[in-house]
């Protein structure tokens, strides 16, 4: 057991390394981490402060979860088996009574679960993201935190959500592990004016935006009734679409809308488990988005609509959903889905991560390939096993920014 959460050199000996490099090579090698970077991969004979030397280790890039509401983790199981409308009704009632202390407890629970299950970066949407930021820093988690914005007349936040978001961004813009951003909640909770002001703030501070878009058919039809346009068409026409935007869900899209997303460099977050649990009916047109070169990443959504934060499970659901939907087992591949959770997401967030490659951020996960559900351990089926067979509890250790933040049942002190 090394010293948790402190910077040091780490050597991982004789592991199967899923590099996710341009050739997607998997090699048997040692990996050396110094400070916050992967500095060497190969046969390494140097001392390190901490050495992982178990047999049958699989080293993968830390998984990236591009959509969560982490302070809600302590509400897990409290709103099952209802559709989004009833879910939101229930949640908004609960939210009004929750304190910053509740948010902290939820965030600790959620980040612990993510570290345990191999996630090294997450994108969040909630109010009071300063609470999440402090928890993430303490636990050593990399976090992109989107302060949620809705119109002032419907918010439960104290003060104006836009100014709250701006205050949060200014306070946290120079942090190592934290990237503050702005998160308009949706077209049904944000007016055109609110949306454009949110975009202005993202531009002023050169940061990202994230937003729920076209999650349910009802959202799309109601928006069209109100404005004459589908949500993406509307966002396109008001000039809101941007390379800064990570649009979440996009279950109900036309090809015309997909092209609008592509043209504006929008990135998307696919949350198959949450969509299925809420009975959204349709599913994101993933093959068409990929064909039009829209970067598709993966997210869990909150622990209330998922109900866990395990990205391995999301990878499997993402792959299976579209095979079944299209009557075509080859429409998604394990490598393509694994890319979405690693390289595609890292690039979408502008992180030099998502790969086990020299001089990249040391966001690294060690999976225990000795477990029964990882057998037989063969180089040519490792990617298949990662997506279709393993789950987050197969993770042995998680390293974020060069620091060991989970190691065989141990977490840094909170």
Contact residues toward Zn ion (CB under 5 A) are 301
Nearer to Zn ion, 67 or 355 (CB): 67
Planar angle of CA 160, 163, 166, nearest 5 degrees: 150
Q: What is the dihedral of CA 414, 159, 98, 171, to 10 degrees?
A: -10
Cβ proximity to Zn ion, 108 vs 301, nearer residue: 301
CA distance 145 to 210: 9
Task: Give, as one character, the DSSP assignment of residue 284.
Answer: -
Nearest residue (CB) to Zn ion, 98 versus 360: 98
Pairing between β-strand 245-249 and β-strand 178-184 as defined by DSSP bridges = unpaired
Count CB neighbours of 259 within 10 A: 15
Q: Look at phi and psi of residue 114 and say left if phi exceeds 0, alpha if psi is from -120 to 50, else beta.
A: alpha
Q: Are 78 and 37 in contact (CB under 8 A)?
A: no
Would you say 68 or 385 has its CB closer to Zn ion? Answer: 68
Q: Which of residues 30 and 113 has its CB atom nearest to Zn ion in the complex?
A: 113
| Beta carbon nearer to Zn ion, 34 or 301 | 301
Smallest gap, in angstroms, from Cβ of residue 249 to Zn ion? 7
Shortest approach of Zn ion to residue 248 CB, angstroms?
6
Residue 306 DSSP symbol: S
Quote the least distance from Cβ 123 to Zn ion, whole Å: 10
DSSP 408: T
Would you call 376 exposed, middle or buried from its count of C-beta atoms within 10 A (0-12, 13-18, 19+)? exposed
For residues 88 and 262, which CB has a smaller minimum distance to Zn ion in the complex?
Answer: 88
**Shortest distance (Å) from residue 414 CB to Zn ion:** 25
We find the least distance from the C-beta atom of residue 246 to Zn ion, in angstroms, to be 11
Of residues 52 and 87, the one with the C-beta less far from Zn ion: 87
Rounded to whole angstroms, the Cα distance separating 119 from 308 reads: 12
Instruction: Please enumerate in sequence order all residues whose Cβ is within 8 A of that of 366, keeping only pairs 6 or more positions apart, or say none.
Output: 12, 15, 52, 57, 58, 59, 395, 396, 397, 398, 399
What is the distance, to the nearest Å, from the Cα of residue 82 to the centroid of all Cα atoms in its chain? 24
Omega within 30 of 0 (cis) for the link into 263: no
């Amino acid at each position: 057991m090394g010293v948790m959460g402190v910077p040091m050199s780490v050597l991982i000996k004789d592991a199967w390394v899923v590099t996710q490099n341009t050739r997607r090579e998997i090699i048997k090698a040692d990996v050396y981490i110094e400070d916050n970077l992967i500095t060497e991969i190969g046969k390494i004979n140097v001392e390190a402060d901490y050495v992982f030397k178990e047999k049958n280790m699989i080293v993968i890039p830390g998984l990236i979860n591009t959509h969560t509401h982490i302070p809600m983790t302590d509400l897990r199981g409290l709103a099952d088996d209802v559709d989004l409308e009833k879910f939101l009704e229930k949640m908004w009632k609960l939210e009004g009574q929750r304190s910053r202390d509740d948010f902290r407890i939820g965030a600790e629970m959620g980040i612990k679960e993510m570290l345990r299950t191999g996630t090294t970066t997450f994108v969040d949407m909630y109010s009071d993201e300063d609470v999440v930021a402090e928890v993430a820093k303490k636990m050593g988690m990399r976090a992109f935190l989107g302060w949620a914005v809705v119109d002032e007349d419907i918010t439960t936040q104290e003060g104006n959500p836009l100014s709250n978001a701006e205050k949060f961004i200014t306070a946290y813009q120079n942090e190592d592990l934290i990237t503050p951003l702005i998160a308009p909640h949706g077209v049904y909770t944000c007016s055109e004016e609110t949306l454009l002001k949110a975009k202005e703030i993202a531009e002023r501070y050169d940061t990202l935006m994230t937003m729920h878009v076209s999650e349910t058919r009802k959202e799309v039809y109601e928006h069209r009734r109100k404005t004459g346009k589908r949500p993406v068409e509307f966002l396109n026409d008001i000039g809101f679409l941007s390379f800064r935007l990570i649009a979440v869900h996009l279950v109900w899209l036309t090809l015309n809308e997909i092209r609008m997303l592509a043209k504006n460099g929008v990135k998307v977050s696919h949350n198959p488990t949450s969509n299925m649990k809420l009975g959204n009916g349709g599913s994101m047109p993933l093959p068409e988005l990929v064909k039009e070169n829209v970067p598709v990443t993966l997210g869990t959504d909150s622990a209330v609509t998922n109900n866990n934060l395990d990205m391995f499970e999301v990878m499997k659901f993402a792959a299976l959903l579209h095979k079944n939907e299209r009557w075509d087992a080859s429409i998604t591949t394990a490598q393509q889905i694994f890319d979405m959770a690693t390289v595609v997401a890292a690039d979408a967030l502008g992180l030099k991560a998502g790969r086990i490659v020299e001089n990249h951020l040391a966001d690294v996960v060690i999976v225990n390939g000795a477990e029964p559900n990882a057998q037989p351990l063969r180089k040519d089926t490792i990617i298949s096993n990662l997506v279709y067979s393993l789950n987050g509890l197969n993770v042995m250790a998680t390293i974020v920014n060069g620091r060991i933040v989970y190691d065989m049942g141990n977490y840094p002190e909170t």
